[in-house]
Amino acid sequence: MKIFKNFFKKIVQIFFPSVCLYCQKIISYDGLFCKECFLKIKFISPIKCKICSLPFAKQKNFGKHLICLNCLTKKPFFDETYVLYVYNYIIGQAILDLKFKDKTFIAYKIANFLKINFYQVIKDNDYIVSVPMHYKKLRLRKFNHANLIARNIDPKKYFANLLIRKKNSVSQLGLKRGKRQKNLRKTFEVNHRYLNNIKNKKILLVDDVMTTSTTANFCAKALKKAGARKVTVLLFAKTLDKSYRYIKAYNIE
């Protein structure tokens, strides 16, 4: 059976070769980008804030309990964040193709990358949920890209419709932190049918990209309010502005 699967996979690669999502170069392996484009993508540093995953450029020592000033002074509702890549124009192209060009295979590949890199994190959580989309926007888009990623990370743990979006808020794109918070206030809630399912559970919240963490924070707030014991955020990429280089790390151990 395994031999047949490998043979079939090779046939598919011959007739339908993978191409780099950024430069369109044909690639001989099952990935999103060619080697040249991939080398321009940075992984999130392991020396980072335990809560929001902000990397510390000036910190040289590893630590399990390093947190940034923002999380120290105003702790988010989520407890931990795990991110694969630093967002850049190449990552952005993959996300745009997924969301607006119906290239849903990208979601499966993103899910696979997250499974490989964060296997233990996924295993340690009871349920997997995604940032929900309002039904009106879903009708236009036809699918929720975050749902596709979350469902394919672990179909058995994926909890569909646990978290719902009550308000069809405007796009967060281009909004500053204050306006993002105002835009998303009272937007998310846990589906009342599943309130008993969430009590004292550890929830893995999945999304594609984190910019200011506002969306993840309001989702986590709704989950915690409904009784979730812990909320961990799992992301494909995180945006960083130049100021992150000067952020100081605080060890709370």
Give the tens place of pLDDT for each residue, 99-135: 999 899 999 999 999 999 999 999 999 999 999 988 7
Q: 185, 152 in Cβ contact below 8 A?
A: no
Task: Give the SS3 label for residue 195.
Answer: helix
Q: Where are the domains of the chain?
A: 1-40, 41-167+185-250
* Mean pLDDT along residues 149-167: 94
pTM (predicted TM-score): 0.86
- DSSP-derived secondary structure for 52-77: T--B-SS--S--TTEE-HHHHHS--S
Run of H or E including 219: helix 214-225
For residue 114, give both structure tokens. 């997250």
pLDDT at residue 90 in the model: 96
Hunting for tokens 């407890």 — which residue is that?
79
- Looking at 142-199, list the stretches that DSSP marks H as alpha helix, in order from N- to C-terminal side: 145-153, 177-184, 195-198
Beta strands in 28-144 (DSSP E): 66-67, 80-86, 127-130
- 160: burial class by Cβ within 10 Å (0-12, 13-18, 19+)? middle
Give the tens place of pLDDT for each residue, 198-244: 999 999 999 999 998 999 999 999 999 999 999 999 999 999 988 77
CA gap 104, 209 in Å, rounded: 16
User: Does domain 41-167+185-250 match CATH 3.40.50.2020?
Assistant: yes
